[in-house]
Amino acid sequence: MRYKVWPKSRSCQSWKYVYFREDARAKLIDTIFHGRHVDHLICETDQAIPDDLFDQYDFEYELIG
């Protein structure tokens, strides 16, 4: 499953993306920047990521494949 992931608030520390990917056991596909800040990332997993994990990190997501 492929996800587009971005923060609910405008700013996000980069370590949150790293820890989220580790907890989700997700492979990083791409990172999209807006200036010097991460706008969103694309990651891939073998199994669905639970909604509560997105809530824990205060992230929004879209399932893209």
Which CATH number goes with the domain that contains 28? Answer: 3.30.70
Q: For the chain, give the percent of residues with pLDDT over 70.
A: 100
Strands (E), the chain: 2-7, 27-34, 37-44, 59-63
DSSP code for 2: E
Give the domain extent around 53.
2-63
| Residue entry with tokens 């990172």 | 31
Mean pLDDT confidence for 26-47 = 93
Q: What is the pLDDT of residues 7-34, one digit of tens each?
A: 998 778 888 999 999 999 999 999 999 8
Query: Higher pLDDT residue, 36 or 40?
Result: 40
Task: Give the chain's largest Cα–Cα span.
Answer: 32
Extract the tokens encoding 54.
Answer: 């997105």
pLDDT for 11: 75
How many domains in the chain? 1
pLDDT for 9: 85
Q: How far is CA 54 from CA 15, 36, 43, 59, in A?
A: 15, 23, 13, 5
Q: What is the pTM for the complete model shown?
A: 0.88
